[in-house]
Amino acid sequence: MLKIENLHKSFGGVSAISDVSMHFQAGSLTAVIGPNGAGKTSLFNLISGAFSPDQGRILLDGQNIAGLPAPVIVRRGIGRAFQIASIFSSLTVREAILGAVNAHRRWYARLGRRFPLPEAQAQADEVMDLVGLTPTADTLSGSLSHGDQKVLDIALALALDPRVLLLDEPTAGMGPEERWQMMETVRQLWERKKMTLIFIEHDMDIVFKFAQTIRVLSYGSVLAEGTPEEVRRHPKVIEAYLGVKYDPEHA
């Protein structure tokens, strides 16, 4: 489905991503974790087309998308929601999602029209239902709670019909209860859409609860990968996160 091969990216001589290879199966739910500066967001920027790699390939269904413009990558099937929600504050939730639907389908003449096409309205209604935003459809996006703004950001990505959805810290800035509610929304979305979903997260309780598989980055390289239990017990992961030597007798 999505395969990354020997990816490299440097900025001003500093390596952000170094020889990273990963394979994400179709329909999988994967967490990407690592300390600050590990290269997690840089990896997402490369996959989504915000950056072009210095070396390596990013294969989507066997086709190399590395270095393609971001709009082209979106049309190939990669969607992304950001750590800081990127929404249209002056539009209602429905208007914002309709705008994303029309733009993705290249119905540019319909942007800003009072009466949307039935197909666009149906898709917007489906997206709002998927993420639980139907009750706030007529609320200004800028008036939503922080949590609902993050959900709207995901909804805008969903309006682009992605086969792969990248979520960059979907629970950032939320309280404990909100974080779990958000991840439950993400899990239900993944189950209903059967998409490949990859998320960056710092809360290890959430990671081990929701992820099927985990990839660990450290200093731009893959430190470990596996199931939550495999990663939890991995000596290098324990050392990198806890700053202590691994003692198998106390694992």
- Residue 235 is encoded by which pair of tokens? 């000596």
Sequence-distant (6+) residues with CB within 8 A of 87 are 96, 141, 142, 144, 149, 152, 153, 156
Q: Could you report the per-residue pLDDT of 139-198, keeping only the tens digit for each? A: 999 999 999 999 999 999 999 899 999 999 999 888 889 999 999 999 999 999 999 999
Closest to 124 measured CA to CA, from 156, 76, 165: 156
pTM comes to 0.88
Cβ atoms of 50 and 39 within 8 Å: the answer is no
Predicted confidence (pLDDT) at residue 250 exceeds the cutoff of 70: no
Q: State mean pLDDT over 18-28.
A: 97
Tell me the CA distances in angstroms from 38 to 17, 18, 180, 210, one per residue in order: 8, 11, 24, 21
The whole-angstrom separation of Cα 220 and Cα 40 is 8
Half-sphere exposure of 168 (CA within 13 A, CB side): 19
Domain architecture of the chain: domains with CATH: 2-87+144-250 (3.40.50.300), 88-143 (no CATH)
Residue from 238, 217, 229 nearest 22 by CA? 217
Token digits of residue 138: 């007529």
Using CA atoms, how far apart are residues 171 and 48, in angstroms rounded to an integer? 20
Which pLDDT tens digit goes with each residue over 25-35?
A: 999 999 999 98
State whether residue 226 is helix, strand or coil. strand
Cβ–Cβ under 8 Å, residues 18 and 221: yes
Pairing mode, strands 2-11 and 55-60: antiparallel
